Amino acid sequence: MSSQLTAYIDGCRVGRFTRDGTGAVTLSFDEDWRHAARRMELSLSMPKSRRVHTGAAPLNYLWNLLPDSEAVLQRWGSKFGVSPRNPMALLAHVGMDTAGAVQLADTDVEMLTGPSGNEPISAAEIAAHIRQLRSDPEGWLIPGHDGGYFSLAGAQSKFALARTADTRWSVPTGRAASTHILKPGIRGLDHSDLNEHLSLAAASQLGLDTADSSIEHFEDESVIVVRRYDRVLAEDGTVTRLHQEDIAQATGTHPAGKYQTEGGPGIEMIVNLIRGAHGRDGGSADRLFDAAMFNWAALGTDAHAKNYSLLHSAAEGPRLAPLYDVATALPYTDINNRNTKLAMSFSRHYRQREIEARHVIADAIALSFDVEWAHDRAVAIVDGLADAYSAAAREAKLDGTDAVFAARIVDEAATRTARLRRELQAAAPPSAAPIPRAPTGSARPGTQPRTPTGRFDRNTDTTSGPSLTERPSSEP
Ligand SMILES: Nc1ncnc2c1ncn2[C@@H]1O[C@H](COP(=O)(O)OP(=O)(O)OP(=O)(O)O)[C@@H](O)[C@H]1O
Ligand SMILES: [Mg+2]
């Protein structure tokens, strides 16, 4: 069973994955799709200019559509009575709703057909599932909705739901698409869901293109809700999928190699990949470098190859997708230390204590970015980081332990960026404008008032509180 799995985009057959007796997987593109797809690619690692792909890329492409958690794969294998080591067999059950527009089915029809629906789910049921995930982080699939399966990468507990124009939540079944991802946070990592929300909001404040997120409450549970940018919701409630792949897929990397230290792609490889793909969006490589600088400044230690994606368009080709799954190690004393490693190096350095601003600027030069632009952006991110987290916390109307947690991020951001700022000053290109004096702790317009250490004033903004999402450092 499942020695063949067919891939569809927009309901059209793209090609067939076949598996031989040795476990080797081959992708053969459908001729019609190759000719009709224009600039759309299923994956940059398997360009449609070649009809048949063998080797590691087809198998790794499929693995990257599945969770990164062995335990979840085991659970799914047992549930569906298939081997957890066979991605095609797993995806035959959960491949109807994945990242991007690809759908995988154990059928061979030209146009994907079959049932499609949305089963309403109440706040009480969502709360019960969140509670269940807190005690059983591998139980991703929602009980009682047997036609509603999804597959998403990552190690954290998560589930995917649809919220359409009428604002009610539903479990998409059959061919239907989810529109939001809900993540209750990482057990043992304080406020990780709030961390993810604040980090996305702070990055957005600083001008980066990010996924929209919010902290939402279901009964007494809170969870980060991330709106899927790979879904477009029409006014009539119809959901269209946009195709995307993560950078591990685009480079043919197995999920186990997603960290650069594990052989995965680093900034240089991704920038070259984006430039070589000749998407019409000329800003993608800049945005990737900008995001890498944000993760350096904010100690986003988990920005590995599966936390960056490309959106594919038939008209435009590939472009960098909005940022998602961003989180800061700053508030965690056990992770925020000088040995902490970033997931991708600057000038071959990974450790916080080794990466100086000059290494970031040196990479910008080596990768032919406009050095003044790179320096200006680094200064803007470093200068604005504490205020951006402060503003994100204010927007989120936090109180209690949530507000204390956010204040710790702001304090730590102020401390770290004071040092980075000095380093940036020393690393300024000769033609760069002088860096103005550092802010002295007074509030800037539109940001939350801060104490001299950068802590925002908790008394000025209170309401109710959330919780968040990040992952521990990748210290290999
Ligand atoms: N807003 C979004 N829109 C579309 N796809 C998304 C979005 N957020 C995440 N994804 C997809 O879902 C996958 C899993 O999400 P995410 O990275 O948040 O999970 P995670 O478990 O926190 O990951 P990790 O193991 O890297 O911490 C991503 O790799 C990406 O393919
Ligand atoms: Mg992730």
Q: Is residue 232 part of a domain?
A: no
**Is residue 193 within 6 Å of ligand 1 at its C-beta?**
no
* Count of H-run helices and E-run strands, the chain: 12, 18
120: containing domain: 3-184
Q: Let me know whether 117 and 245 are in one domain.
A: no
pTM confidence score = 0.91
Model confidence at 236, pLDDT cuts 50, 70, 90, reads confident
Same domain for 33 and 151, yes or no, is yes
CA distance 202 to 239: 28
Distance of CA 96 to the CA centre of its chain: 20
Judge whether residue 459 has pLDDT over 70: no
Q: 52-62, pLDDT tens digit by residue?
A: 999 999 999 99
Mutational test site, ligand 1, from 182, 212, 324, max ligand atoms within 8 Å of CB: 324
Statement to judge: residues 247 and 176 lie in one domain = no
The pLDDT of residue 455: 32
- CATH at residue 395: 1.10.1070
Residue 207 lies in a domain: no
Is 276 in the same domain as 344?
yes
Is position 9 within any domain? Answer: yes
- For residue 343, the ligand closest to its alpha carbon is 1
Residue 251 sits in the same domain as residue 157? no
Nearest CA residue ID for atom 17, ligand 1: 325
135 part of a folded domain: yes
Q: CA 287, CA 305: separation in Å to the nearest integer?
A: 15
Residue with tokens 């709703």: 97
Whether 17 is covered by a domain: the verdict is yes
Give mean pLDDT, residues 364-374. 98
Residues 134 and 260 in one domain: no
Please check the confidence at residue 469 and state whether its pLDDT lies above 70: no
- Residue 151 domain-assigned? yes
Q: Is residue 445 part of a domain?
A: no
Q: How far does residue 224's CA lie from ligand 1's centre (Å)?
A: 12
Tell me if 271 sits within 8 A of 289, measured CB to CB.
yes
- Asked if residue 176 and residue 276 are part of one domain, the reply reads no
Sequence-distant (6+) residues with CB within 8 A of 429 are: 361, 371, 372, 375
313 and 401 belong to one structural domain: yes
Residue ending a domain, among 427, 452, 469, is 427
pLDDT digits (tens, 9 = 90+) for 136-186: 999 999 999 988 999 999 999 999 999 987 789 999 999 999 999 999 999
The number of angstroms, rounded, from the C-alpha of 165 to the middle of its chain's C-alpha atoms is 24
On average, the pLDDT of the chain sits at: 91
CB atoms within 10 A of CB 236: 7
Cα separation, 249 vs 263, in Å, equals 14
User: Of the candidates 366, 376, 323, which has an alpha carbon nearest to the alpha carbon of residue 346?
Assistant: 366
* Alpha carbon of 191 to ligand 1 centroid (Å): 18
197 and 215 Cβ atoms separated by less than 8 Å: yes
Place of tokens 């053969």: 28
Say if 218 falls within a structural domain.
Answer: no
Is the separation of the CB atoms in 181 and 163 below 8 Å? no
Residue 3 one-letter amino acid = S
At which of 161, 184, 207 does a domain end? Answer: 184
Residue 458 has pLDDT above 60, yes or no: no
Mark whether 125 and 259 lie in a shared domain. Answer: no
Q: What is the DSSP string of 286-348?
A: HHHHHHHHHHHHTT-TT--GGG-EEEEETTTEEEEPPB-S---STT-TTTSSTT-EEEEEETT
Q: Are residues 177 and 35 in the same domain?
A: yes
Q: Are residues 112 and 34 in the same domain?
A: yes
Same domain as 28, residue 133: yes
Residue with CA nearest ligand 1 atom 25? 154
Number of domains composing the chain: 2
User: Where a domain ends, among 154, 184, 214?
Assistant: 184
